[in-house]
Amino acid sequence: MSGLIADAKTLIDKARVEAQNHWFTHNERMTIESITQSVSNMALAFSDDSDEVAPISRPFGVALLFAGWDENGPHLFHLDPSGTYTEYDAKAIGSGSEGADQTLQDVYHKSMKLSEACKHVLTILKQVMEEKLNATNVEMATVDAKGYRLFKKEEIDDIIKNM
């Protein structure tokens, strides 16, 4: 996420509720694109011209990345503050994202191993961050067919030391 934390919390809570409701209703996982679309619909609701009172009075001030895995493989969606979402193979958001996006395009390939991707990501962060990169000021997670995994600080430190 990049932007206003309170807005991010609102949208993430919406995503969680939608995914849980889908699970309880249909006894299946909701696709990451469906979750992203649901949050996008909420982000777009502020500009709805209907006579009903809009649930929010302004656009959300946050950009989000939604990552997931389904029967078609991995998916990464970027939801911008306007409510528009786009699928990417690799995407950076936040300050320094322009340079990071360009470098991601240069180094990314579909056959990249996870260890290689982690090293590239931290190298790119090191280039665009104003402060020194360490395990205290960065978090890293992966999403695969088995689920979500947040890296431990020690794992991040090891990758940084081997860069």
- Model pLDDT for residues 96-121, shown as the tens digit of each residue: 999 999 999 999 999 999 999 999 99
CA dist 67 and 87 (Å) reads 10
Longest dimension (CA), the chain: 59
The residue extents of the domains of the chain are 1-88, 92-163
Q: What is the pLDDT of residue 45?
A: 83
CA dist 117 and 141 (Å) reads 12
Residue pair 26/34 in contact (Cβ under 8 Å)? The answer is no
Is CATH 3.10.20.30 what the domain over 1-88 is classified as, yes or no? no
Confidence of residue 54 (pLDDT cuts 50, 70, 90): low
Q: What is the pLDDT of residue 50?
A: 57
- Computed over every residue of the chain, the mean pLDDT equals 92
Q: How far apart are the first and last CA of the chain?
A: 25
> C-alpha angle 64/87/130, rounded to 5°?
45
- Model pLDDT for residues 62-89, shown as the tens digit of each residue: 999 999 999 999 999 999 999 999 999 9
- Model pLDDT for residues 119-139, shown as the tens digit of each residue: 999 999 999 999 999 999 999
CA dist 81 and 74 (Å) reads 23
Which one, of 145, 128, 148, lies nearest residue 137 by Cα? 128
Mean pLDDT for the stretch of residues 142-162: 94
